[in-house]
């Protein structure tokens, strides 16, 4: 019984995220989500109070999910170069392997009615703790968190969005980006 419900909720989430990749936030209606998840639209209201809350909650979960994916690849015992490479490549890999979630988060974080309620960056605090450790050990330059964030994640995000550029070519750009960020951030 417990598993069954969980599965149903999971299907709802996935359906929503999938639909938003394909049709954008405005294209993801409750009834389409329900159809895609193979449940009644009334069932969605068993799990969420409103569409707004559902979006916010799944947005939060997806942001967290990205963070966990990244966190698993990092460790304090790495060198600074390894750390930066792991972050940049890890984030990129996530965006490719989880295109739906990635696009969903990107859209939500730009939507004024959603981004206000969810603090995407909060989720990344664990990664910044790690970066601080490297900074205090004098291995990574003392740039502000905001700029570290801006330099480590935003360019990758941009690269991931370039669907016009073929995968292979994007991979090469990524390697270049890793090099750039390593020379930039390592003391």
Query: What is the binding site for a second copy (CB under 8 A)?
Result: 21-27, 103, 106-107, 109-115, 119, 143-144, 146-147, 149-151, 153-159, 161-162, 164-165, 173, 176-177, 180, 183-184
User: Which x/- pattern over 59-88 shows residues binding DNA (rule: CB under 7 A)?
Assistant: ------------------------------
Query: Is the Cβ of residue 4 or residue 163 nearer to DNA in the bound state?
Result: 4
Contact status: 113 vs DNA (CB under 7 A): no
User: How far apart are CB 32 and DNA at their closest, in Å?
Assistant: 6
Nearer to a second copy by Cβ, of 76 and 122: the residue is 122
Q: Take residue 7 and report the two structure tokens written for it.
A: 């599965």
Nearest-angstrom CA–CA distance, 65 and 1: 25
Answer with the entry of DNA, a second copy, none that 75 interacts with (C-beta below 5 to 8 A by kind). Answer: none
Measured distance CA(93)–CA(90) in Å, rounded: 5
Residue 76 or 172: the one with the smaller Cβ distance to a second copy is 172
HSE-up of 107 (CA within 13 Å, CB side)? 22
Nearer to a second copy, 42 or 77 (CB): 42
Find which of a second copy, DNA, none residue 153 binds, CB within 5 to 8 Å per kind.
a second copy
With CB under 7 A as the contact rule, which of the stretches 30-38, 63-71, 152-160, 164-172 interacts with DNA? 30-38
With beta carbons less than 8 A apart as the criterion, state whether 185 and 81 touch. no
Q: Which is nearer to DNA, 21 or 127 (CB)?
A: 21
What is the Cα Rg of the chain in Å?
18
Given a contact cutoff of 8 angstroms between Cβ atoms, the answer to whether 149 and 125 are in contact is no
Taken in order 157, 50, 2, 18, the sign of the CA dihedral is: negative
Using the 8-state DSSP alphabet, how is residue 139 labeled? S
Burial class, 78, CB count within 10 angstroms (exposed 0-12 / middle 13-18 / buried 19+):
middle
Footprint on this chain of DNA (rule: CB under 7 A): 1-5, 8, 28-32, 39-47, 50-52
């Amino acid at each position: 019984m417990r598993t069954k419900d969980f599965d149903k909720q999971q299907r709802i989430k996935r359906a929503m995220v999938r639909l938003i990749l394909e049709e954008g936030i405005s294209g993801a209606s409750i009834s389409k989500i329900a159809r895609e998840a193979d449940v009644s639209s009334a069932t969605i209201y068993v799990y969420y109070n409103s569409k707004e809350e559902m979006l916010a909650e799944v947005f939060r979960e997806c942001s967290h999910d990205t963070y966990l994916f990244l966190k698993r690849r990092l460790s304090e015992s790495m060198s600074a170069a390894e750390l930066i490479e792991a972050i940049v490549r890890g984030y990129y890999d996530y965006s490719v392997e989880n295109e739906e979630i990635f696009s969903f988060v990107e859209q939500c974080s730009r939507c004024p009615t959603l981004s206000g309620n969810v603090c995407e960056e909060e989720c990344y605090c664990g990664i910044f703790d790690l970066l601080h450790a490297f900074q205090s050990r004098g291995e990574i330059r003392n740039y502000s968190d905001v700029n570290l964030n801006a330099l480590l994640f935003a360019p990758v995000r941009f690269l991931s969005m370039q669907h016009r550029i073929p995968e292979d070519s994007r991979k090469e750009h990524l390697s270049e980006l890793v090099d750039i960020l390593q020379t930039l951030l390592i003391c």
